Amino acid sequence: MCGRYILIQKAEVLEKRFGVLVPDTISLKPSYNIAPGKFAPVITNDHPHEIQLFRFGMTPSWMSKPTLLINARSEGDHNSDNNPAYTGSKGIITKPAFRKPIRSQRCLIPADAFIEGPEKEKLNKPFVVYLRNQVRPFAFAGIWDCWKNPETSELIYSFAIITTVANEVTQKIQHHRSPVILHREDERKWLSNTLPLSDLTQLLVPYPGELMNAYPIAPTIKNPRADDPGLIHPAGQRIMPEIIIKSTKEVRITGMGSNRNFGFDDQKPMGN
C-alpha cells in the first residue's frame, strides 16, 4: 500500500525532467504529505506533454457513488499471501475497476519520495522511502479514470498508484507491498497508446532495493492536513548505510534525511 507521498519540485523542474508543460491555469504547491483526496500532478497517456491535476484516489467511471481507490494491485486477486518472489500473471487486467484503465488510461505520477509503515503499525511507525543518489523526481506507474457526479454533473478526474510485491527496502520496513516506480527509460512506454498489454504489464515489477533507502519519521504524518518540512525530519537512522563524505568543515552522511535540509538540498549526495 502506498497512501502518502512527497512532491516539492517547482514547475520548471517537472517540465525539464518529464518533457512537459505546466499550464498557466495550474498552480503547483510543494507538498510533504500528499494524502488521498488531495489533487496532485499527473501526466496522462492522452495528454502526455502537459501536467494535469487529478485527485489521489480513483473513482471508476461506472460507480454510482464516489470512492477513493488509492492503489491497484498489479497481481489483482493473485498472490494473496504477498509472496515477494511472485512472478505470475498480472490479475490487474481482469479486475472490474482496473481492466479498462490499465489498457487505455495510464499516467505517470511524479514524486520525490513516499511514506510507508510496517503492515501492523502502519503510519504509527512511518518511514520516508527515497531513491539513492538524489534521483528525484521519479514517477510512479498509475492509472486514472473520470467519474461524473450524478447529482451535480461535475467531472472528477482521479488516479491510483499501482503496487507490486515488496522489495528489499519495503521488506526491511516490514511492509508487504511497494509502489511501482518506473525506470526513466520506461516512462514513455507506460504512456504509449500502441504498446501491447503484455509489454506494459512486464513493467509492473519492484524497483531495485539496492537503489533505494529509507529512514523513520514521527507519526505526525498521519494527519492528512499536516504539510510542512518538519514532517520528514529523521527520527532515527537509515535502514541501510550510505557513504560518508568528510571535509575539513563538516562531516555529512548523504541521502534524504541526512542534514538539516532533510535531503532536499543543493548538494548532490553519493549513495552506495
pLDDT (tens digit, 9 = 90+) per residue, 145-163? 999 999 999 999 999 999 9
Strand, helix or coil for residue 20: coil
Query: What digits encode the pLDDT tens for the residues 165-221?
Result: 999 999 999 999 999 999 999 999 999 999 999 999 999 999 999 999 999 999 999
Catalytic residue among 2, 107, 187, 242: 2
Task: Please name the amino acid found at residue 35.
Answer: A
Helices (H), 158-238: 168-172, 187-191, 197-201
111 exposure class (CB count in 10 Å sphere: 0-12, 13-18, 19+) = buried
- Number of neighbouring beta carbons within 10 Å of residue 10: 11
Alpha-carbon span 178 to 180, nearest angstrom: 6
- Beta carbons of 171 and 82 less than 8 angstroms apart: no
pLDDT at 53 over 90: yes
50 tagged catalytic: no
* Domains observed in the chain: 4-253 (3.90.1680.10)
121 tagged catalytic: no
Catalytic residue among 75, 116, 187, 242: 116
Q: What residue has cell string 560518508?
A: 244
